[in-house]
Amino acid sequence: MIRTVAIVSKPGRDDIPVLLHYILEWAAEHDIRVKIDVSTADYLHRADGMDRDRLPEECDLIVVLGGDGTFLSAARAVGPRQTPLLAVNLGGLGFMMTIGPDELPAALEGVARSAFKLDSRMVLEADLERDGEVVDRYFALNDIVVANSAVARLLHLEAYADGEFVCGYRSDGLIVSTPTGSTAYSLSAGGPVMAPDVAALTLTPICPHTLSNRAVVLPATAKVEVRILDGDEENFLSIDGQVGRHLEPHDRLRLWRASHTVDIVQTNDVPFFDVLRSKMRWGER
């Protein structure tokens, strides 16, 4: 039963107010409570907007109005709570968004009848260690990236899987990707496309300084360690392209499959490869 719905909105969109009023009317008709984030409150000229990190508390569903960036922000706010996300694409590619604005009415009615399925996506969990101490923990739906932001500066890394040495990297960086993230940065760096239900993760080097350095696919059970061997203040850690911090030489990043997933509401059955062909023009000449 859906009793409380939260709304997360991308700012600066002229088409969002109409959708918001429709959602509010639908919620009132079904006696559903609505919570809103700050961006949504701005559209409605209200003062009860909440920080996204607090929004998922006691919610049964989150409606995301925006693109992939807004979706990733909402997923990060949900964290281990596993509150389902209904994603309405108002962006450009919107690869993770499941419906368009014209499909929203039917999707909401399906939600009201509990006539939907959940697409559970793998999440990466990571600890950043410095001088033997864990200084931060992160969760990523797409990818975790170690890179050097300076121009023409190679980063020296080593990767291990379940304690076994994989290889050393002289490259612009390294992407550790989930199946969901395989169609994001990892794909641009030459990594493989993985179906969302594949239990695996990839290590994809960014512009490696050797022709033999290619992406490696590991089982989802693998415990990965990335060691930063050298570098400077330009070394950077990025989580889903949204959260980041500077890295120091000899930092260690330990990554594994999180115990929770990100659950995406699916009100229609669209095969993954149909999405790949339509949104990324897969296989076209």
Greatest mean pLDDT among 23-37, 85-99, 139-153, 237-251: 23-37
Q: What is the pLDDT of residue 209?
A: 86
Annotated catalytic residue: which of 37, 68, 143, 172? 68
Of 1-5, 191-195, 238-242, 267-271, the least confident? 267-271
Provide the CATH number for the domain formed by 4-116+267-280 in this structure: 3.40.50.10330
Q: Can you give the C-alpha Rg of the chain in angstroms? A: 20
Strand partners, 224: 161, 255
**What confidence tens digit (pLDDT) does each residue in 262-274 have?**
999 987 777 777 7
Q: Find the angle CA(218)-CA(224)-CA(228) to the nearest 5 degrees.
A: 125
15 is catalytic: no
Q: Which two tokens stand for residue 17?
A: 């107010």
* pLDDT of 95 higher than 80: no
Structural domain boundaries in the chain: 4-116+267-280, 123-259
For residue 154, is pLDDT > 70?
yes
Amino acid residing at 99: I
Long-range interactions of 214-221: CB distance < 8 A, separation 24+:
214/190, 215/186, 215/189, 215/190, 215/191, 216/166, 217/192, 218/161, 220/122, 220/257, 221/257
pLDDT tier for residue 11 given thresholds of 50, 70 and 90 = very high
Which CATH number applies to 123-259: 2.60.40.2140, 2.60.200.30, 3.40.50.2300, 3.40.1260.10?
A: 2.60.200.30
Mean pLDDT estimate for the chain: 91
- Confidence (pLDDT) at 92: 65
Distance CA 1, CA 32 (A): 10
Buried b / exposed e over 239-277, threshold 16 CB at 10 Å, is bbbebeeebeeebbbbbbbbebbbbbbbbeeeeeeebbe
Q: What's the pLDDT score for residue 93?
A: 61
- Taken as a whole, the chain contains a residue count of 285
- Is the pLDDT at 54 greater than 80? The verdict is yes
For 211-263, how does the pLDDT look when each residue is reduced to its tens digit (9 = 90+)?
788 999 999 999 999 999 876 667 899 999 988 889 998 999 999 999 999 99
pLDDT confidence band for 148 (50 / 70 / 90):
confident
SS3 for the chain is CCCEEEEEECCCCCCHHHHHHHHHHHHHHCCCEEEEEHHHHHHHCCCCCECCCCCCCCCCEEEEEECHHHHHHHHHHHHHHCCCEEEEECCCCCCCCCECHHHHHHHHHHHHCCCCEEEEEEEEEEEEEECCEEEEEEEECCEEEEEECCCCCCEEEEEEECCEEEEEEEECEEEEECCHHHHCHHHHCCCCCCCCCCCEEEEEEECCCCCCCCCEEEECCCCEEEEECCCCCCEEEEECCCEEEECCCCCEEEEEEEEEEEEEEECCCCCHHHHHHHHHCCCCC
Q: Is the pLDDT of residue 152 over 80?
A: no
pLDDT tens digit string along 163-184? Answer: 999 999 999 999 999 999 999 9
